[in-house]
A = this chain, B = another copy of it.
Amino acid sequence: MGERKSADRKDQIAKVASEYFHEKGYMAVSMRDLAKEVGIEAASFYNHFDSKASILKEICFRMADEFFTGLNEALSEHNSPSEQLKAIIRKHIEVVLKNFSASAVFFREWRHLSEPWLQQFLELRRRYEEQVRQVLNRGMASGAFRKADQHVMVYALFSLINGLHEWPDVQRHFSAAEIADRIASLFLEGISNASAQKS
């Protein structure tokens, strides 16, 4: 099957590109760099992708898909805001660690997306953010969460769960479940000792 073979090659290119874009950054990687690693000539890429830009697009939108799948599962499998929040954190971190290079590219290199993909990408991020915000708002309304500025709350959460690829050796030291538990616990309860908390 020619199509099957072609899809394999396309996946291989996407995988190699994820690793190179992660390591060196999108702009610092040339088609010839990728070609060498894949074992073909640079010109042959254009049988699989329209352009260098479309490789980046593929990586970013695949990851967006993964994140949304995780989010939807987290929301449908739980009801209370705090259970939903923990599940969101768990699913999100699983997706990050299972696709470490691609997710790093997703978080770091999306700025180099060409139009109209850039606008579409930003719209997806807004939608994801909005769904998480609603969980936090429901938690504040129900009294499960401390009342706080929702801006700070939601972006602090994103900083925590999107900053993982900057952690040195994160993949060697921890499983997804461990990190998720500890980050969820930190976000919910902080690092202060309860007995020492009221000064």
Contact = CB atoms under 8 A, between A and B. Distances in A.
B193 A143 contact: yes
Interface string A13-43: 0000000000011011000000000000000
A28 B112 contact: yes
Interface stretch (A2-10, A47-55, A162-170): A162-170
A160 B196 CA distance: 23
Contact of A191 (B146, B159, B170): B146
A149 interface: yes
A177 interface: no
How many monomers of this protein are in the complex?
A: 2
A179 B156 CA distance: 10
Interface of A: 24-25, 27-28, 82, 108, 111-112, 136, 139, 143-146, 148-149, 151-153, 155-156, 158-160, 162-164, 166-168, 170, 173-174, 179, 182-183, 185-197
